[in-house]
Structure 1
Amino acid sequence: MHSSLSLHNKTSAAQAPERIIKFSNGSLVPKAAELRHAEAVEMDIESLDRFEQAADAVRAIFAEAKLSTPPLLLLINICLADSSREATQRFEKLIGHGSRIHLSHTWYVGTEEGLRGLVDDLRVLGIGDGVSYRTVETAARELAGQRAEQAPLPTHRKP
């Protein structure tokens, strides 16, 4: 269950999509019957720089099914606190910097004001048609199996 949804277009909250297809790098391609009734696609990707590549894949799936692509929503996992330092400490405790959960999903760790700024930037840049949010508590619960494997951060070695 996601805590909220923000659409970039002029759609009012009353018109927010109810039938949302979830898409991630590891998800199976939905059947045409599932796609037909989709009002939006929620994209759970590992980073913002992968959005356009993932969006192209989603558009191709809908095109192959001869359907128009519904709005594409970027799922952002959020860890909010009164200060960035507090949010970072909370994130480290619940998720862990460099964990598989951290590296496999898009995260915002900081303040509510900073999150609003990020969403405004996404709107200006035209990244997706909207944003959906998953709180750090929900993400930790839903993605718990991924935390067991810690993915090491890349290191740079001198030749």
Structure 2
Amino acid sequence: MGVTDAAVQRLAAGGFPDIGVIARGVTPPPQRYGRAPAEPPGPVRAVRLTLTGIRGGRGPDRLDRCSYLLILDVTNLAGDIPPTWVRSPADRDIRHVNIWPGTQSHCPWAGGGLPSLCWHTFSSGWLQAPPSHRTLGNALEYAKQLLNTENHVSPAR
């Protein structure tokens, strides 16, 4: 089962107020004659939201707060930790060592290369969790943890 509008609304009410759906799957048209009832929107495929983390890097301001506008692909939450791209700040302004440069990853929802989160050991923990725990809310909590710490052995930057 994918992410529903109700799940997104619960997350908006529960600590992620600016979360929004940016892509949906297609709901097939009804296969009957006559006037078709209104079809519900297709399943949520991608969301965007802002999370606050640390600036990162090795400079004296590495612990300063920084807002990250993220795009998450939620099409396969049960199978893998969601690919997550950073829409802002700009690639040249990112110093967080757990964020890959934009040249390393194509974001289909933005139509080009964007910096992306280096999940590193987070992805192992995700796959070890029971499928019922592999939810959008838990992915967002992982992203918050990742953006508020740095793993200086990360291969990303």
TM-score by length of 2: 0.26
TM-score by length of 1: 0.26
